[in-house]
Amino acid sequence: MNALFAGIDVSLAENKAVFLDSTGEDVATKLRFPNNALGSELFLHKTLELCSQLNPERLLFGLEATSLYGWHLAMVLNQAAQLAQFHPAVYLLNPRIVKGFKKSYPRVPKTDWADAWVIAQRLRFGQLPTPFRFDQRYFPLQRLTRLRVRLAKDITREKNYFLTYLFLKCSGLTTEKPLSDFFGAAGSALVTEWYSVEDIAATSLESLAQFLIDKSGNKFANPVEVARQIQVAARHSYRLPTAVKGAVNHILASTLRHIRFLEGQLHEVSEAIAHEMKGLDNPLLTLPGLGPVFTAGILSEIGSITNFGNDDDLAAFSGLTWNRKQSGSFQGEDSHLSGTGNVYLRHYFVEGANRVRMHDPVFRDYYQRKFKEATIHQHKRALVLTARKLVRVVFALLRDNRPYSPPGKAGS
């Protein structure tokens, strides 16, 4: 097929483009153009000139999906009526795929022009992902659900940072775990309102128990026993030098305030997602355990289900496929996820599977069976396999636009 391939290396200020024909030969002078509206018009004009000379049957554009810097250009190319007769397709390529493909050209230097050339060659090679499409129903949702993933990861990172300094202040609390949650009302108050581990160990058991009652709203079944365990952990803890205590307390209090702020942002974003979901036809809400936020995360990344021929295509798009380890008669047992695919969709499938298996007996039984079959990484392996099962169910629900009905029930 006579086709024209344009590889574009995108950056904040400017873009660099290389044009190849179906044989892999350069068919135009390398083009440098600003990453703005005028620059995109210049690139569009240059592309039309080439098309009038070469008259390709297909026109393919490739950009790395590294940031939003290429989004405006992808929109221009995807919506340009002047290119319609050449059946244009715009591809946002996973950087890992491009990097891996580049290894087949060991003499290619590390330059922006070389990267654009490799992208064009990757287009020519084929086996491409779903082309870029703009859907105004899902794009706002996608931005919000991706922000939510980022906030959730920020909260996890800050909590881990907090726990490292909690070990510094009172190591026994983190190793003996007398409290299950140091980010609840009682746990955070214990960490921030008591100056040192010596103070916790020296106070009376009754005073510490009353402190826990007051801060928790009397939610402990046996506050005296919890207070006793806390004091034991305090006595087993390392002692900090006096000069360090003030700094450690400041870091713990500051980090906790940051966690609270991020949690507030997460709540606001979740409410905005729920608002955006109103009016959307969403059969995924019938899946037990999945609410507006998680179904929005899945829907916004999938877009139209017609982009996928079957659930295997959807699984590959989300990165829920495995690299097989096999050589001769050897078959590896510890296989890893492919590492490619849409990381946000994979996140919502995996986290969504964890919620569904807590509410639906079919998914719960499947998870437990896979958990027992695994010899290592049991929870992780069982959860990812359950996520792959969720992909099959989601594909079927969206394809048929029907509610979820577990096997054995009427209409299933």
> Mind listing the pLDDT tens digit for each residue in 168-213?
999 999 999 999 999 999 999 999 999 999 999 999 999 999 999 9
Q: Are residues 178 and 106 in the same domain?
A: no
The CA distance from 9 to 405, in Å, is: 47
CATH of the domain at 266: 1.10.287
- Secondary structure (DSSP) of 330-352: EE-S--EE-S-S-HHHHHHHHHH
Q: What is the pLDDT of residue 399?
A: 95
For the CA atoms of 317, 319, 321, 326, the dihedral, rounded to the nearest 10 degrees, stands at 120
Strands (E), 189-340: 322-323, 326-327, 330-331, 336-337
Q: Are residues 236 and 316 in the same domain?
A: no
Q: Are residues 147 and 230 in the same domain?
A: yes
3-state secondary structure of 322: strand
Q: Are residues 76 and 166 in the same domain?
A: no
CATH of the domain at 22: 3.30.420.40
Residue 411 belongs to some domain of the structure: no
Q: Are residues 11 and 95 in the same domain?
A: yes
Which residues have C-beta within 8 Å of that of residue 351, sequence separation ≥ 6? Answer: 294
Q: Are residues 324 and 213 in the same domain?
A: no
- Among the candidates 74, 98, 125, a domain finishes at 125
Q: Quick count: other Cβ atoms within 10 Å of Cβ 294?
A: 25
- The tally of domains found in the chain comes to 3
Q: Are residues 287 and 267 in the same domain?
A: no
Residue 338 belongs to some domain of the structure: yes
Q: Are residues 162 and 187 in the same domain?
A: yes
Residue 278 belongs to some domain of the structure: no
Task: Please tell me whether the overall predicted TM-score, pTM, comes out greater than 0.85 for this model.
Answer: no
User: Which amino acid is present at 175?
Assistant: T
Residue 410 belongs to some domain of the structure: no
- Among the candidates 238, 272, 306, a domain finishes at 272
Residue 44 belongs to some domain of the structure: yes
Q: Are residues 351 and 372 in the same domain?
A: yes
In the predicted model, residues of the chain with pLDDT beneath 50 are 325-332, 410-412
Q: What is the pLDDT of residue 107?
A: 83
Q: Are residues 324 and 214 in the same domain?
A: no
Q: Which of 336, 302, 294, 303 is nearest to 318 (CA)?
A: 302
Residue 134 belongs to some domain of the structure: no
Q: Which domain holds residue 210?
A: 142-272
Q: What is the pLDDT of residue 337?
A: 64
Residue 79 belongs to some domain of the structure: yes
Q: What is the pLDDT of residue 336?
A: 65
Could you tell me if 128 and 91 are in contact, meaning their C-beta atoms sit under 8 angstroms apart?
A: yes
Q: Are residues 297 and 252 in the same domain?
A: no
With 0-12 / 13-18 / 19 or more C-beta atoms within 10 angstroms meaning exposed / middle / buried, residue 210 is middle
Residue 27 belongs to some domain of the structure: yes
Main-chain dihedrals φ then ψ at residue 330, nearest 5 degrees: -85, 135
- Among the candidates 248, 272, 296, a domain finishes at 272
Q: Are residues 240 and 306 in the same domain?
A: no
Inter-axis angle of helices 378-400 and 343-359, nearest 10: 100
Could you tell me if 51 and 83 are in contact, meaning their C-beta atoms sit under 8 angstroms apart?
A: yes
Which residues have C-beta within 8 Å of that of residue 89, sequence separation ≥ 6? Answer: 58, 59, 60, 61, 131
Q: Quick count: other Cβ atoms within 10 Å of Cβ 175?
A: 11
